Amino acid sequence: MNSLRPKANIVPTQKRGHVQDEIADRLRKGLMVGAFIPGQVMSLRKLAASFGTSPMPVRDALGQLVAANALEEMPNRSVRVPRLTTDRVKDLFEVRELVESLAARNAARNATPALIRELQAINRDLKISIARRDVLAALAANQKFHFTLYQAADSSVVMPLIESLWLQSGPTMYCSFLAPDMPWDASAHTEVLEGLKKKNPTAVQRAVARDIRTAGRHLVQAGTFQLPGGMMMLPTEISLDL
């Protein structure tokens, strides 16, 4: 009877109540994978149009990401992908080293043979991607390696923290690792696996700490994050085919 009936989602209402979460997931993935340029503003309505929804779930998703420090809020109340300063990168990796070391140590205590096998498989993929110079796949494999390891720590307190820290460093890491001469040392991962096999949590902890420390050092040295935004061949417009 009422003319206000909405146009009924183009998609046949896939899952009720999970729209904002799916949007948030796609945005998260996009941030990790470098689909968004540091400094890029995330327009509410444009994102909504891209997703084919109303601005409402997008607003919620952006709010989540802002609360997780994955996006930053400008005085205009617009949100954008944060551009990191050198100091902030140092801070970020200092904390990452600390927190992820803890997670790695605790994960090592709970390590099962199945976990070790899974990590070995992921590391194989990682090495292949590195050999192919496939930055995207390498970053994805690297993330998967770390997160499956940390997951074994079985801490619902630490995991969200680590996710937040990765989301913050994600876009910048992607940009920096686009430099073809960026060395990538996968030896730390090998040390992790050896430590797990020997059931030596301290060794695993040290290996993860070393991995993060060297990554952070390379990132600071490269310093690509302090270049003026908009460089590189990345699309200025939002690409949502994630």
Distance (Å, whole) CA 97 – CA 44: 34
- CB of residue 17 vs DNA: minimum separation in angstroms? 4
Distance (Å, whole) CA 17 – CA 170: 28
- Contact with DNA (CB under 7 A) among 54, 151, 155, 190: 54
Contacts of 117 (CB under 8 A, 6+ apart): none
- Contact with a second copy (CB under 8 A) among 67, 128, 231, 242: 67
Distance (Å, whole) CA 53 – CA 187: 45
Q: Which helix (H) or strand (E) holds 164?
A: helix 158-176
**Is residue 43 a contact residue for a second copy (CB under 8 A)?**
no
Among a second copy, DNA, none, what does residue 69 contact (CB within 5–8 Å per kind)? Answer: a second copy
- Contact with a second copy (CB under 8 A) among 46, 59, 127, 218: 59
Distance (Å, whole) CA 168 – CA 44: 20
**Is residue 200 a contact residue for a second copy (CB under 8 A)?**
no
**Is residue 56 a contact residue for DNA (CB under 7 A)?**
yes
Among a second copy, DNA, none, what does residue 33 contact (CB within 5–8 Å per kind)? Answer: none
**Is residue 18 a contact residue for DNA (CB under 7 A)?**
yes
Cα 198 off chain centre by: 29
Around 44, how many Cα atoms within 13 Å sit in the side-chain half-sphere?
Answer: 13
Tell which positions 76-105 bind DNA, by CB under 7 A: 76-79
Tell which positions 182-221 bind DNA, by CB under 7 A: none
Tell me which residues touch DNA (CB under 7 A): 2, 4-7, 9, 16-20, 41-46, 53-57, 59-60, 76-79
